[in-house]
Structure 1
Amino acid sequence: MNHRFVLTGGPGGGKTTLLDAIEKRGYRVVPESARSIIKERLAAELSPRPDPVSFAQDILKSDIEKYRRVAVGEQATFFDRGVLDALYMLDAESALSRAGIANYVQLFPYNPVVFLLPPWEDIYGTDSERDQTFEESLKVFEGMKSWYSQWGYKTLEVPRDTIDERVKFVLQHVNSL
């Protein structure tokens, strides 16, 4: 069984908070690439993001490095987004062929169950790394839901609930696999 689990969705759904809580329970967590890329660019006094294709390529490169660096045994490892998220961005810009995308999907598989966090207006906020509107977050969420399904993944929507209940939901599903 593949023990690499992806948590994805639109910005502001609580992925990072959920992953922090999962990590506190002793699980390995791999942080999102986009935030670190944006932080590095801001520190270098650049715009938060380069053009969409360059940004997606940078994220893809980082996600592949993280995927390869994490040796996964019997313990679940949770990824804040996955290689497929960057591929979605590249597809949206028509920057990669379907055959090229399919090749990446095959080379970098995750567990067939993907946890999808819906946008949550009550907790949504912007900051120096998250500048999308709530409406954009809704579009990304729907896009991720469809995108992962297109590539054979089953998406499970994590309910909007307390952090403890969200952790319980994810871990119960992981342990039942």
Structure 2
Amino acid sequence: MDGAFIITGGPGGGKTTLLNALAERGYRVAPEAARRIIRARLAQGLPPRPDPTAFAREILASDMEQYRTARAHDGVTFFDRGVPDALYMLDLAGAITREEAAGLVQRFPYNNTVFLLPPWEDIYGTDAERDQSFEEAVAVFEGMSRWYAQWGYQTVEVPRVSVEARVTFILNTIGSD
């Protein structure tokens, strides 16, 4: 799906703020599933995350549904993470085979350009939904970079600049605006 762009990276890199700015410019945005799932669990008085495999499977199901919904529209959609992110989580948990992951990567293709936001200590913060340390955010970023590359995606690191400059960088990269 050529108009399906993933924006990913470790927690605290500014993905949500960037995606909100893209949405303000009129672009379709698919929000991150993990925050929604964590919010719902906290509202029910549950721990923020179930076991890693169950959490990853719930995220995967949501990401696949968002992908299918986006396919019904023409134009560009920016995804706050995508199916490959959930597959990475399942891989880390040892809960998916390489063949299963490859099949899902093939069934849910995104644009070959994936925007990777590096952890940014100056803006990093924790909250009820983001409880990872900065060091964990760095490890996720590095793992995601390797993961996407192994599936043939071209990762483009988004510079640590203002939100508006990041939006301009992304839109220039995809040849829009």
What TM-score do the two structures reach when normalised by structure 1? 0.97
Q: Percent identity?
A: 62
Residues 105-135 of structure 1 show CA distances to partners (whole Å, capped at 9, x for unaligned) of 0000000000000000000000010000000
Q: Which residue of structure 1 lines up, in the alignment, with residue 86 of structure 2? A: 86
The alpha carbon displacement at 1:74 in A equals: 4.4
Q: What stretches of structure 2 of length at least 5 have no aligned partner?
A: none
SS of the equivalent of 2:71 reads coil
Q: Which residue of structure 2 lines up, in the alignment, with residue 58 of structure 1? A: 58
d(CA) in 1 for partners of 2:54, 2:73: 33
The alpha carbon displacement at 1:75 in A equals: 1.7
Aligned alpha-carbon RMSD (Å) = 1.0
One-letter identity of the residue aligned with 2:43: A
Summarize the alignment of residues 71-110 of structure 1 with structure 2, pairs less than 5 Å apart: 71=71, 73-110=73-110
Summarize the alignment of residues 1-177 of structure 1 with structure 2, pairs less than 5 Å apart: 2-71=2-71, 73-175=73-175
One-letter identity of the residue aligned with 2:39: K
Residues 66-88 of structure 1 show CA distances to partners (whole Å, capped at 9, x for unaligned) of 11112355421000000000000
What TM-score do the two structures reach when normalised by structure 2? 0.97
d(CA) in 2 for partners of 1:119, 1:72: 33
One-letter identity of the residue aligned with 2:9: G
SS of the equivalent of 2:6 reads strand
One-letter identity of the residue aligned with 2:56: A
The 4+ residue runs of structure 1 with deviation greater than 2 A are 71-74
For this pair of structures, how many residues does the alignment match? 176
d(CA) in 1 for partners of 2:13, 2:72: 26
One-letter identity of the residue aligned with 1:76: V
